Structure 1
Amino acid sequence: MKPKVVVLGGGFAGLSCALRLPASEFDVVLVDQRAEFEFLPAIHELLSGMKTKRALRLPLKPILETRGHQFRRGIVGSIDTGHRCVVLQRGRIAYDYLVLALGAADADFGVAGVSEHAFRFKSVDQCAALGRQVARQVRDRGSTRITIVGGGLEGVEACGELLRAYRNYAIDIRVIERSGRLLPAAPKAVSEHLHHQCEYHGVTLVLGEEVRRVMPKTIELGNGKRRRSDVTIWTGGAIPKPLFADSGLSYGKNWVDVTERLQHCDDESIYVLGDSAGLPQPLSKQAYHAIDMGEFCADDLQRRIAGRRRRVFKPSKKPQLVAFGDLDTLLIGDRMVLAGPSLGVLKEAIYQGVMVQLDGRAALPRLKGLVTRGVGLPSRLDWPVPSLSALGQRASLKKLA
């Protein structure tokens, strides 16, 4: 009998793992509360209309069935490690190996009013709703005041996309970051460059300050001052999902500790991938790391059942791309940082490449999906490759570090 692998989560890590497991060797079931994979690194482009909801999604069921696997839509209630089964809101699924790739929860840090009065920034639907609200206010009133809480990757890319769409309108954007600079984990030169871009385009930066409360049309800062905010966007960061601690897989509000093979430290039948994994050497929570983890996990499972020599997970080093609308894109490497609008072509190429890679359907549906993602979008989008004239206009790059 083939070993049964249950994969929880159809994001980058979970789907990459499932697609690498051969149906001839494993009985694979992937569980997700959504019916579709979502390309989250590009959801900021929903704010400007550069991407559509359809362009950022892939259907999980046909992709998995093409590989001989099963898809089950459901919400995980708990994990019974003693009996090796996953308890869903409707039913249970037994496993021989469990792959946890459920991502992270959205952190509000106990700030009152976030759930009621702020737009979250963690899914396609959330960003699409946000984009519609901003467009409606600009259309009906001719102006709006937007507050972005959080100056990390999500906040910066959201700001850039709003400038792409509305910088010629009467729109007031404010970014609040509790650390002293934007993208605090990046080199200082990156923060300074983005700071200059924001100031040049009229974005108000409130650094070294936090939000105490979110109210309808108003936010209250930690110093007690209040500011009007017609639209408040919350990009406060990520925390572990309560499911892990509730199921005895982690302690308190910590990530799930894993070994160098991405296995749970106390249960070798469980792998933890993506944002949820607490690695011995912490990694940034990036999609490319999640894909690498998923592929490693699938390879390790095949090695285990075949009795072959196993490896340890070694994350690949890749530069990070940060988009600032059509105004700028930054390429952040270990030894060099480059900036220039033409680098946006690389980000688009990665998006298209990963979507094709994860679309495990037959050739015709995959080709149709590729064409759909390009046709009908604004002509200024360089898809699938940039024109020579576009490159000529935007080819200048600036070395920041």
Structure 2
Amino acid sequence: MSARRPKVLVIGGGFGGLFCARRLGNVDVDVTLLDRAACHVFQPLLYQCATGTLSIGQISRSLREELADRDNVQTLLGEAIRLDPDARTVTARRPDETEYTLDYDYLVIAAGMRQSYFGHEEFAAWAPGMKTLDDALSIRRRVFAAFEIAETLPPGPERDGWLTFVVSGGGPTGVELAGQIRELATRALANEFHAIEPEEARVLLFDGGDRVLKSFAPKMAHRAGRTLEALGVELHFGVHVTDVRRDGVTVRPKGGGPDEEYAARTVLWTAGVEAVPFAKHAAKMLGADTDRSGRITVGPDLSVSGHPDVFVIGDLAGRDGLPGVAENAMQGGLHVAACIRRDLGMRGRKDFRYRDLGSAAYISRGHALLQAGPVKLTGKLGWLGWGFIHIAFLTGVQNRVSTVATWMATIARANRTDRTFILGGSGHPEEPYTWESPVHQGNHSTDDGQNA
């Protein structure tokens, strides 16, 4: 490196990228944080935005505002698309499709993962995932519009299809979505319609395993399953969703047997994740190994073999024992910042040691799971622990206060304060009056092609 201050380029403003940039604030380096949305999103609460409990502003914050007191940290809007490790440059694309280049002395790849459809990208047209704010708004539009459309239809199979919701994947996100839709139908919407009974809405959850929440202790997972069933969620285990269409899904038993067809106009996909395109490109350019999902193999200090100036953190870091959870990303961001500081002080780097702070999953009002070492809480105690943890990690005091206030109001009353969903209708050809994405018009099998 030259005598100038080292340049640190962080790609991704999620938990890993944000915590790394924060820790490097006011250190003798110049930090650039590149993000395609220029905001930090609290992903664990996306489903509450999707189902009308919280607003976008309560689960996100401008990166520029969050890092305003770090004079050496610059935030830029753009999507990383190319890496040249020899020249130490990254090319980014602006929303208007123009490009610009950034150079670095240290590169921190914290770009995260996107939803995986296991080679069936056409499913995305009818089964949005849950990774971005756009995903949350798309799901909100589909869920609430389904009830509104059902209200306009006479009793029969067509109305039943609109009142049937399919969730693919029994992990935390799938469980949270399924529980929230049933809670929405039985509480918030129960007395607001005339032609339909929202309580009759069916929520079907499909998973290839033998229980929901497989990362939790079996007893806790089974209790969560019983809570979901009591709420009215129909659980189907040992099956894979093999086709998603405009009006339903096809499900195939893992152990063999005939396919089953389910009519449903709302399908939500939480079944898997894969590396974002830039991560796949970066792995190729760095000559790094990847696993089946595209996670990049890293060394003990989270750097890429042969490239001590390149780190990979969060969901993308491929190393045994590193789960795809927020705590891993946060700790990885802090560790990489410490490695860079030790380099500046001519001291040796330390190996990354992940500390499992536990896992939590929301089931329904008054029911959640919290697992942290020997501590295993369910029911109301788990619910309180879940709430405390999520408030602690939300960015911004204002977001914390407003979220707590909203939760208290939701507990006291059945209504959801952020149910508004936006349809087209401006007259612009790219914004037709529809609940579907414009890209699906005229071609109901088109892949939406967007990156998470």
Q: Which TM bucket (shorter chain)?
A: 0.7 to 0.9
Q: Is the 8 A contact 1:177 1:208 kept in 2?
A: yes
| Counterpart check, 1:236 vs 2:271 | yes
- Most deviating of 38-47 and 162-171: 162-171
- State the distance in 1 between where 2:377 and 2:163 align: 33
Shift of the alpha carbon at 1:149? 0.4
| Counterpart check, 1:38 vs 2:41 | yes
Q: Which amino acid in 2 is paired with 1:120? A: G
Within 5 A, what are the aligned runs for 1:154-173?
Answer: 154-167=173-186, 168=190, 169-173=199-203
Q: Is the 8 A contact 1:50 1:381 kept in 2?
A: no
- Give 3-state SS (helix, strand or coil) of 1:307's partner: coil
User: Match of 1:258?
Assistant: 298
Sort the Cα spacing of 1:54 and 1:352 in 2 relative to 1 into closer, same or farther, 3 A.
Answer: same
- State the distance in 1 between where 2:372 and 2:408 align: 30
| Counterpart check, 1:331 vs 2:370 | yes
- Give 3-state SS (helix, strand or coil) of 1:261's partner: coil
What do residues 248-303 of structure 1 show as CA deviations (whole Å, max 9, x unaligned)? Answer: 23346441111111111120000110000012x23221101111111111111111
- State the distance in 2 between where 1:309 and 1:331 align: 37
What do you get for the CA RMSD once the two structures are aligned?
2.0
- Most deviating of 86-95 and 329-338: 329-338
User: Match of 1:224?
Assistant: 259
TM-score by length of structure 1 reads 0.87
Sort the Cα spacing of 1:368 and 1:220 in 2 relative to 1 into closer, same or farther, 3 A.
Answer: closer
Q: Is the 8 A contact 1:50 1:378 kept in 2?
A: no
Q: Which amino acid in 2 is paired with 1:267? A: H
- Most deviating of 210-219 and 189-198: 189-198
User: Match of 2:106?
Assistant: 97
Sort the Cα spacing of 1:236 and 1:71 in 2 relative to 1 into closer, same or farther, 3 A.
Answer: same
- State the distance in 1 between where 2:390 and 2:223 align: 25
Shift of the alpha carbon at 1:185? 3.0
Which of 176, 192, 195 matches 2:225?
A: 195
User: Match of 1:131?
Assistant: 140
Q: Which amino acid in 1 is paired with 2:207? A: E
Q: Which amino acid in 2 is paired with 1:188? A: P
Which of 65, 70, 73 matches 1:62?
A: 65
Sort the Cα spacing of 1:370 and 1:178 in 2 relative to 1 into closer, same or farther, 3 A.
Answer: closer
- Most deviating of 213-222 and 268-277: 213-222
- State the distance in 2 between where 1:112 and 1:246 align: 19
Shift of the alpha carbon at 1:327? 4.2
User: Match of 2:447?
Assistant: none
Q: How many residues align?
A: 372
User: Match of 2:214?
Assistant: 184
Q: Is the 8 A contact 2:9 2:104 kept in 1?
A: yes
- Most deviating of 292-301 and 140-149: 140-149
Q: Which amino acid in 1 is paired with 2:165? A: I
| Counterpart check, 1:245 vs 2:249 | no
- State the distance in 2 between where 1:141 and 1:296 align: 51
| Counterpart check, 1:271 vs 2:301 | no
| Counterpart check, 1:303 vs 2:342 | yes
Q: Is the 8 A contact 2:32 2:74 kept in 1?
A: yes
Sort the Cα spacing of 1:225 and 1:376 in 2 relative to 1 into closer, same or farther, 3 A.
Answer: closer
- Most deviating of 184-193 and 50-59: 184-193
Between the aligned residues of both structures, percent identity stands at 23
- State the distance in 2 between where 1:28 and 1:49 align: 36
Which of 25, 30, 49 matches 2:28?
A: 25
User: Match of 1:341?
Assistant: 380
User: Match of 2:170?
Assistant: 151
TM-score by length of structure 2 reads 0.78
- Most deviating of 44-53 and 70-79: 44-53
Q: Is the 8 A contact 1:48 1:161 kept in 2?
A: yes
- State the distance in 2 between where 1:180 and 1:376 align: 35
Q: Which amino acid in 1 is paired with 2:342? A: R
Q: Is the 8 A contact 2:91 2:102 kept in 1?
A: yes
- Give 3-state SS (helix, strand or coil) of 2:167's partner: strand
- Give 3-state SS (helix, strand or coil) of 1:132's partner: helix
What do residues 314-358 of structure 1 show as CA deviations (whole Å, max 9, x unaligned)? Answer: 1112121111021411112333432112432322222222224xx
- State the distance in 2 between where 1:76 and 1:38 align: 18
- State the distance in 1 between where 2:124 and 2:376 align: 36
What do residues 132-172 of structure 1 show as CA deviations (whole Å, max 9, x unaligned)? Answer: 32123224425710000011111011112222221352210
Shift of the alpha carbon at 1:375? 4.4
Q: Which amino acid in 2 is paired with 1:154? A: T
User: Match of 1:390?
Assistant: none
Shift of the alpha carbon at 1:48? 3.4
Q: Which amino acid in 2 is paired with 1:294? A: G
Task: Structure 1: give runs of 5+ residues left out of the alignment.
Answer: 360-366, 383-401
User: Match of 2:321?
Assistant: 282
What do residues 109-138 of structure 1 show as CA deviations (whole Å, max 9, x unaligned)? Answer: 123641211121112221232123212322
- State the distance in 2 between where 1:283 and 1:135 align: 37
- Give 3-state SS (helix, strand or coil) of 2:90's partner: strand
Q: Which amino acid in 1 is paired with 2:300? A: E
Q: Is the 8 A contact 1:7 1:31 kept in 2?
A: yes
- State the distance in 2 between where 1:112 and 1:57 align: 28
Shift of the alpha carbon at 1:207? 0.8
Which of 79, 83, 94 matches 1:79?
A: 83
Task: Structure 2: give runs of 5+ residues left out of the alignment.
Answer: 94-98, 152-161, 191-198, 253-257, 413-452
Q: Which amino acid in 2 is paired with 1:246? A: H
Shift of the alpha carbon at 1:374? 4.0
Sort the Cα spacing of 1:243 and 1:251 in 2 relative to 1 into closer, same or farther, 3 A.
Answer: farther
Q: Is the 8 A contact 1:261 1:311 kept in 2?
A: yes
- State the distance in 1 between where 2:27 and 2:12 align: 22
Q: Is the 8 A contact 2:179 2:233 kept in 1?
A: no
Sort the Cα spacing of 1:370 and 1:112 in 2 relative to 1 into closer, same or farther, 3 A.
Answer: closer
Sort the Cα spacing of 1:202 and 1:41 in 2 relative to 1 into closer, same or farther, 3 A.
Answer: same
Q: Which amino acid in 2 is paired with 1:287? A: A
Which of 5, 18, 37 matches 1:15?
A: 18
- Give 3-state SS (helix, strand or coil) of 2:324's partner: coil
Shift of the alpha carbon at 1:181? 1.8
